Amino acid sequence: MSAPTSPLSFDVAEQMAKRTRWTPLEIAFWIAAFATIYFLPGRHLILTEIVIWALFALSLDLILGFGGILSLGHAAFFGVGAYAAGLLAKHGIITEPVLALLVAGLAATVLGFVTSFLVLRGSDLTRLMVTLGVSLVLREIANRYSDITGGADGLQGITMAPVLGLFRFDLFGHTAYIYSLVVLFVLFLLARRIVNSPFGLSLLAVRGNPLRASAIAIPVNWRLVAIYTVAAGYAGIAGGLLAQTTAFASLEVFSFDRSADVLLVLIIGGIGYLYGGLIGAVIFRLMQDWLANITPQYWQFWIGLVLVIIVLIGRDRMGAWIRPVRDLIDTLGGRLRIRASGGER
Amino acid sequence: MLTILFDGIAYGMLLFVLACGLSVTLGLMNFVNLAHGSFAMAGGYITVVLVNRMGLPFLLGLPLAFLFSAALGALLERTLYVHVYAKSHLDQVLFTIGLVFMSVAAVDYTMGSSQQFITIPSALQGQIDVFGVGVGRYRLLIIGICAMLTIALQLVLVRTRFGSRLRASVDDQRVARGLGINVGAVFGLTFAVGSGLAGLGGALGAEILGLDPVFPLKYMIYFLIVVTVGGTSSITGPFLASILLGIGDVAGKYYMPELGAFVIYSIMIVVLLLRPQGLFTRQSAR
């Protein structure tokens, strides 16, 4: 950042720095997340699933919470990532998982860039239909070329090479969990940097009012293309992680249910502050697990009921309960910081 | 060739009866109702129960399916949907997806997950020859019923006072309200009739479309295609769109079975990109 020359630019710099500052709550969240590696070793399989859902929901948050694009076909990118990672490993093209994951993400990114032009036009309904249509078309393609994708049977016979050539995937999913969590953390840092940058602020302006945003010289369409592309890459990496950690990919990765579920995950956690997807993933997966234990076949009913209730109560009111807690911790953190800086003086 | 055309028309007519309620919902209240297929499924399953288990005649089952779905639609509209009209599209999508999930699981629980068949009277089975073309009797019945319904709907919409109120509300809700039209009541009634028609379509189409718990998910995209491609400002738009979709889908499955639904989805995306307001719309003032 350049040296502040006038009070205004100084204020702006101050504001921007304040946005990017880590709150104690955030630090505590990540410490807790990494602590599970040691404290919950028996739960690493389900935790890996949670991490993948979290990453997928994070990607949806980028386009819905920051781009304001309503998508019912986000599974398209997830699926492309999953099949890309699966095929790369199966045919031994790129055996090293991290590199393969990057390539899978790249494939989804390219698809995201191409299809992003489709969502620029039209109303919410048109976007909804187009995104849904894209994921359905991809599903049909995957089904059609069953000699490559395995069709309805899924992509079988994937063997994963050790991560970075050092860490082998084990039966209990320890490596898979640590690997996924690190990927999530790195991508989260990147997303956090993106949304707190001037670029992220301009996205919020676009979401608030595209017309006014364009009046203050924000290229609305390019902003949407950019965030949609990035989010597609994120979804692709989430899909790639799923294929790598489970050594399997099936047509289910493209399904409408997956697109709807990820929307639910994000809604449970809350839209537009990045942690929504992460928190939502934990609650969603635990709830799903719990419901599936009670009613093995009909848990979908209760998921639907949760959605209906969330909407009827109102999403903003749902998020309200967490606000006092956040405020309290922010104030506490602020006091601590002032005391610390006071001590330095 | 002609048989395919005929099957396509029957299929398209069926889609129209299923989806026309949705076009009004979208046009009138700008409400994205993804759960429309659930009402169709309700109609189909009530017919299964009435005809197969209680032994009512099939032709009596159809109007009962209409009434049941209409009552269900009216009930849900008054109790749940009214709270969601004013909310954002995201909320509407979430709410109706929730309803779809609930209906799928509920039907799975009560009726089992296997595909259901409605026993059709033997008089309606088999084919008859019309000008040398083999024509399924049941499909002929579908075309007959759907054509009558379409004409009736058109007449109601154009000739009656209720129709003019409905059209006024679709065109401009606020002005319609200002003129003393009870838009809420008009909408409630229309919603009920639309759900009822979907139920009737579900009962009629069980033979052709199949009837299982995932019906609302499977055909959701088709209903949406009919509505978005056909536009929401008239009844002819969705009608033409559904006939086109029906013929296209049947012909596509016959001539290029390996492509599946690929063609339909691609065409939909292209149409939506070129004409986001639908193919058959007049330019609206808004």
pLDDT for the residue numbered A319 = 56
Chain A residue whose CA is closest to B80 = A312
Confidence of residue B239 (pLDDT cuts 50, 70, 90): confident
Per the prediction, chain B carries an average pLDDT of 83
Q: What is the DSSP letter of A273?
A: S
What angle in degrees, to the nearest 10, is found between the helix axes of A124-144 and B262-274?
150
Confidence of residue A172 (pLDDT cuts 50, 70, 90): confident
Count how many residues are written for chain A.
345
Q: Could you tell me the CA-to-CA distances from A56 to A259, B98, B119, B141, B222 in Å, in that order?
A: 10, 20, 45, 48, 27
Q: Could you tell me the CA-to-CA distances from B235 to B109, B150, B151, B157, B243 in Å, in that order?
A: 36, 8, 10, 9, 13
List CB contacts (< 8 A) between A136 and chain B: 221, 261, 265
The pair of structure tokens assigned to B129 is: 């020859």
- Let me know the angle formed at the C-alpha of B63 by B59 and B64, rounded to the nearest 5 degrees: 105
pLDDT, average across residues B83-110: 88
**Rounded distance, CA A131 to CA A287, Å?**
28
Q: What DSSP string describes A101-135?
A: HHHHHHHHHHHHHHHHTTSSSS-HHHHHHHHHHHH
Cβ atoms < 10 Å from Cβ of B166 = 23
The whole model's pTM is what? 0.84
A247 touches chain B (CB under 8 A): no
Contacts 24+ apart (CB under 8 A), A322-325: A322/A270
- B121-160 residues touching A, CB cutoff 8 A: none
Check if the beta carbon of residue B38 is closer than 8 Å to that of residue B103: yes
Number of domains chain A contains:
1
A156 touches chain B (CB under 8 A): no
Which residue among B94, B102, B225 sits closest to A305, beta carbon to beta carbon? Answer: B102
The answer to whether position A313 is within a domain reads no
Check if the beta carbon of residue B25 is closer than 8 Å to that of residue B228: no
Interchain CB distance below 8 Å, A125 and B228: yes
pLDDT surpassing 70 at residue A204: yes
pLDDT for the residue numbered A228 = 93
List CB contacts (< 8 A) between A121 and chain B: 273, 276
Lowest mean pLDDT across A139-148, B45-54, B89-98: A139-148
The answer to whether position A296 is within a domain reads no
Write the Ramachandran bin of A161: left for phi over 0, alpha for psi from -120 to 50, otherwise beta: beta
**Rounded distance, CA B268 to CA B282, Å?**
19
- Reference A126, options B269, B226, B18; nearest CA is B269
Interchain CB distance below 8 Å, A264 and B94: yes
Q: How many CB pairs under 8 A join A and B?
A: 126
pLDDT for the residue numbered A328 = 66
A255 touches chain B (CB under 8 A): no
Residue found by looking up tokens 């945003």 in the block: A213
Which residue among B80, B97, B259 sits closest to A307, beta carbon to beta carbon? Answer: B97
Interchain CB distance below 8 Å, A260 and B97: yes
pLDDT for the residue numbered A331 = 66
pLDDT, average across residues B178-199: 89
ipTM entry: 0.80
Instruction: CATH number for B2-274: choose from 1.20.120, 2.60.40, 1.10.3470, 1.10.287.
Output: 1.10.3470
B276 touches chain A (CB under 8 A): yes
Interchain CB distance below 8 Å, B228 and A126: yes
Terminal CA-to-CA distance of chain B, rounded, Å? 43
The answer to whether position A31 is within a domain reads no
The answer to whether position A15 is within a domain reads no
The answer to whether position A182 is within a domain reads yes
Check if the beta carbon of residue A13 is closer than 8 Å to that of residue A1: yes
Which residue among B95, B104, B109 sits closest to A308, beta carbon to beta carbon? Answer: B95
**Rounded distance, CA A202 to CA A188, Å?**
19
**Rounded distance, CA B42 to CA B202, Å?**
8
Bridge partners of A249? A155
Q: What percent of chain B has pLDDT over 90?
A: 10
Cβ atoms < 10 Å from Cβ of A286 = 12
The answer to whether position A340 is within a domain reads no
pLDDT tens-place string over residues A108-130: 999 999 998 888 877 777 888 88
Residue type, B94: L
**Rounded distance, CA A67 to CA A47, Å?**
29
Q: What DSSP string describes B101-152?
A: HHHHHHHHHHH-SS---PPPPGGGSSEEEETTEEEEHHHHHHHHHHHHHHHH
Interchain CB distance below 8 Å, B265 and A133: yes
Contacts of A276 (CB under 8 A, 6+ apart): A57, A61, A65, A266, A268, A269, A270
**Rounded distance, CA A127 to CA B224, Å?**
12
Check if the beta carbon of residue B199 is closer than 8 Å to that of residue B68: yes
Rg for chain B (alpha carbons), in Å? 19
pLDDT, average across residues B56-83: 89
pLDDT tens-place string over residues B141-185: 888 888 898 888 888 888 899 888 888 887 788 898 899 888 888
Check if the beta carbon of residue A194 is closer than 8 Å to that of residue A19: no
- Reference A143, options B83, B261, B64, B120; nearest CA is B261
- Let me know the angle formed at the C-alpha of B21 by B18 and B25, rounded to the nearest 5 degrees: 140
Write the Ramachandran bin of A341: left for phi over 0, alpha for psi from -120 to 50, otherwise beta: alpha
Coil, strand, or helix at residue A74? coil
The pair of structure tokens assigned to A231 is: 């989010």
Write out the residue range of the structural domain in which residue A228 sits: 39-278
Q: Identify the residue among A144, A311, A313, A316 best suited for mutation to test binding to B, counting B beta carbons within 10 A and taking the highest.
A: A311
What angle in degrees, to the nearest 10, is found between the helix axes of B89-111 and B36-47?
20
Interchain CB distance below 8 Å, B102 and A308: yes
Check if the beta carbon of residue A69 is closer than 8 Å to that of residue A225: no
How far does the CA of residue B269 sit from the closest CA of chain A (Å)? Answer: 6
Which residue among B84, B99, B268 sits closest to A133, beta carbon to beta carbon? Answer: B268
The answer to whether position A148 is within a domain reads yes
Q: Identify the residue among B269, B270, B279, B286 best suited for mutation to test binding to A, counting A beta carbons within 10 A and taking the highest.
A: B269
